Amino acid sequence: MTELLMLKEIGKTYQTNGTSLIALRSINIVVNSGEFVAIMGPSGCGKSTMLNLIAGLDAPTTGEIYLAGKRIDTLNETQRAIVRRRHIGVVFQAFNLIGNLTVADNIELPALIAGFSTKQARVRRGKLLEQLGIADKAGAFPANLSGGEQQRVAIARSLVNTPQVLLADEPTGNLDTESSREVMILLSQYNIEGQTIVIVTHNHVVASCASRIIHIRDGLVANETKVDVKGDYKSVLSRLISLEV
């Protein structure tokens, strides 16, 4: 396994009205290619901040972040956006789909922005619509979809540029049990096929799907639980299908 993502002594302090709030003190994490990592921790422990820093949505105060060996935290905002579009997929709790675009257009848009031709983007979106079982919703608008369907569209959108890492911030946070299970099965399927995933969650059963659970407390890594991912694709899936999420 190769090191895909490295956080080296990452710190983040927010300044508001002369007072400083420490979100992260010193985080050291290495994520290998093909891993499925869950980040857990109490509210305000800095776990979402960490995901935002990896996604390049924000810059760390101290430390270094490397993606596939390249340092990404020192890039300027434009360069970070390029890295994010090309190499990082992000899924949010609130789906964040564009309301006046159809499902198909939502999925296709990041590919077009990343510079793929219309034809290439179409092929990619077609494949994802099939894989995620939402082909019949291609022409629908997000508002007419259930939460679970919207999150599937968001996952498709995040994967359209075949990112090196998929980041998900509470992806089941707004979903019922059945939809949560579907979303976790999808993420696990992509992970089994090799997709590296880093997910932030409060849900223990969701976290138990990951191959490694990292616990953040007070801006530091408190502990890690490693999981032996045993069994083949089918047994992992059948395990997930029966979850009480």
Partner 1 sequence: MRYPILALLANKPAHGYELKQIFDSRFGTIWPPINAGQIYNTLSALERDNLVQSKEVPQRGSPSRRVYELTQKGRIMLEEWLEETSESPTLKEEFIIKLVLAYIVGKPDPLIIIDRQRQEYFKEIREINDLAANKSNEITTKLLIGAASLYIQALLKWLDQCEEELTKYVRNEPTIT
* Interaction site with partner 1 (CB under 8 A): 40, 42-43, 202, 204-205, 207-208, 213, 215, 217-218, 222-223, 225, 227, 235, 238-244
Q: 179 or 201: whose CB is closer to partner 1?
A: 201
- Residue 189: phi and psi, rounded to 5, are -60, -45
Q: Closest distance between partner 1 and the C-beta of residue 204, in Å?
A: 4
Q: Closest distance between partner 1 and the C-beta of residue 38, in Å?
A: 10
How far are the Cα atoms of 19, 138, 140 from residue 170, in angstroms, in the given order?
A: 29, 25, 25
Residues 67/5, Cβ–Cβ less than 8 Å: yes
Q: 122 or 239: whose CB is closer to partner 1?
A: 239
Torsion of the alpha carbons at 207, 209, 212 and 213, rounded to the nearest 10: 10
Q: Which residues pair with 20 in a beta bridge?
A: 15
Residues 164/197, Cβ–Cβ less than 8 Å: no
Q: Closest distance between partner 1 and the C-beta of residue 214, in Å?
A: 12
Q: Closest distance between partner 1 and the C-beta of residue 36, in Å?
A: 13
Tokens of 106: 């939502």
Distance, CA of 80 to chain centre: 16
Q: 86 or 217: whose CB is closer to partner 1?
A: 217
Q: Closest distance between partner 1 and the C-beta of residue 241, in Å?
A: 7
Q: 158 or 180: whose CB is closer to partner 1?
A: 180
Q: 6 or 209: whose CB is closer to partner 1?
A: 209
